[in-house]
């Protein structure tokens, strides 16, 4: 799978570790920044870059990391069709794909350590959307997006 990565300055090291981990597992990783842990950059820029890359078909899914995972996921979720979910443990990462067909996982570098983050992304990328009643709910979310994007 081709995966887009984005982070702010707080998460450069965790991003690198996760990209290496997923590359070892056979995924292709694309780095959309940030690259400098000393920079004081803005997480919305990187959330948007990854969300737009998914929308354009450059990558299939994404991983976003900031201090908590919340801000960067909020930015990504402004792009129609993006479902970015913050996860701090594997169970939520599994269900966010199975039930919500999430296409971006977000997490906080100040919340999870490297080994837990690896477990979270492994679970996220191994999970499969269940469809059925969940597909109806995803369609409802898409209808909300359409209503407010006019």
Catalytic positions, written as ranges: 66, 99
Determine contact, residues 68/44, Cβ cutoff 8 Å: no
d(CA 34, CA 63): 13
Nearest C-alpha neighbor of 124 from the set 42, 41, 50, 63: 63
């Amino acid at each position: 799978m081709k995966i887009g990565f984005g982070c702010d300055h707080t998460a450069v090291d965790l991003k690198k570790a996760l990209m290496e981990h997923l590359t070892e597992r056979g995924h292709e990783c694309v780095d959309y920044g940030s690259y400098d842990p000393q920079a004081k950059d803005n997480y919305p820029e990187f959330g948007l870059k990854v969300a737009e890359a998914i929308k354009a078909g450059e990558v299939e899914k994404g991983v976003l990391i900031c201090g908590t995972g919340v801000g960067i996921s909020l930015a990504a979720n402004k792009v129609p069709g993006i479902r970015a979910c913050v996860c701090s443990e594997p169970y939520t990462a599994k269900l966010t794909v199975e039930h919500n067909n999430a296409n971006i996982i977000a997490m906080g570098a100040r919340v999870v350590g490297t080994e837990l983050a690896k477990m979270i992304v492994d679970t996220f990328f191994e999970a499969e959307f269940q469809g059925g009643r969940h597909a109806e709910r995803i369609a409802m979310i898409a209808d909300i997006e359409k209503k407010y994007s006019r």
